[in-house]
Amino acid sequence: MQNKDLIQKAYDLFNEGKVEEAGEFFDPDGVWSFPGKSRLAGEYRGRDAVVGEFLPKFPRLSGGTFRSTVMDVADGAEHSFVLQRSQAQRDGHSIDYTVCHVFKVEGGLIRTVHTYPYDMHAQEEFWG
């Protein structure tokens, strides 16, 4: 399986609400780095932190309205890249923004993810 296929499968599972199953594609010692100062921001170290703490924040903070759509995914020489459309509603406000995720896959598992939002200000304001 190519890295981009593994990443797409993890996205599909997450979008189906199968966060634990999506987490099985993440290295036990992997790290997800999410920039900024919002309630989502931080460095989540280990599969347990990603699956148990980080990923559940999206549906919880959005009242279950968060949706992520893979617009494009590509494998590079050492990294894979996902261009994602994120949509959510919260407290009478909505957001529709683009994010680039840079993945490092090693041994068939996601080792690192770095998130780069197109509009950091809008993301910070929405997620608070």
Q: In the chain, how many H helices and how many E strands?
A: 5, 6
Give the β-pairing of 67-75 and 42-45.
unpaired
- Quote the pLDDT of residue 104: 97
d(CA 117, CA 99): 4
Tokens 């190519």 label which residue? Answer: 2
Q: In CATH, what number does 3-127 get?
A: 3.10.450.50
Domain ranges of the chain: 3-127
pTM listed for this prediction: 0.92
d(CA 48, CA 56): 11
What are the tens digits of pLDDT across the range 10-39?
999 998 989 999 999 999 999 999 999 999
Considering all CA atoms of the chain, what is the largest pairwise distance in Å, rounded to the nearest integer?
A: 43
Provide the CA 43 distance to its chain's centre, in angstroms: 12
Q: Report, as an integer, the average pLDDT of 71-82.
A: 94
At 108, which amino acid appears?
G
pLDDT at 128 over 90: no
